[in-house]
Amino acid sequence: MTMPREKKRVLLIGEQPDIELFAMLRGEGYEVAALESPHRARGVFPLYKPHVIIIFPRYPKETVILDECLAMAGTVPVVAVISLIAKPTLVRAVKEKATAFVVLPAKRQTIRETLQAVALFADEAKFPSGGKKILGTETPGEKRPHLADSL
């Protein structure tokens, strides 16, 4: 008799998490919890034990949210989801600090590949969240990095 495989847990943090992303993750078999701030997440984080944290910074001043999540996450990967029209300072901060990032609107396959890459990398070796970059999505005029490029 085989044990049922544990669902990967995702913690979404942001004032307005993307409802479509929430539904897509649930449809992909992830267990998903959403909270509006890192402050609220601090109490839930040790009990929920997420496999990945996804944040939704919208403005450059919200890089503080990214920093708070990275400090809380320890070895849990932090993926930033940003808008296609995000300010360059926010994009730069996300690229420098987050484990991976996704630019919305994104195809379902792009989100799936990003989370699979993060999970694969996390399973191979625990790493600080602000460490090596895993996978990003294209921003206008930029070539998309691939997992092999970051190893």
DSSP secondary structure string for all residues of 35-47: ES-HHHHHHHHHH
Return d(Cα 84, Cα 101) in angstroms, integer: 12
Return d(Cα 37, Cα 56) in angstroms, integer: 10
Interval 42-67: pLDDT, tens: 889 999 999 999 998 888 888 888 89
| Beta strands across the sheet bearing 9-13 | 31-35, 9-13, 52-55, 78-83, 100-104
Interval 23-33: pLDDT, tens: 889 998 999 99
Find the farthest-apart pair of alpha carbons in the chain and give their distance in angstroms, rounded.
53
3-state SS class at 69: helix
If phi > 0 it is left, if psi is from -120 to 50 it is alpha, else beta; for residue 20 that is alpha
Interval 77-114: pLDDT, tens: 999 988 888 888 888 888 888 989 888 888 889 988 99
Q: How confident is the model at residue 149 (pLDDT cuts 50, 70, 90)?
A: very low
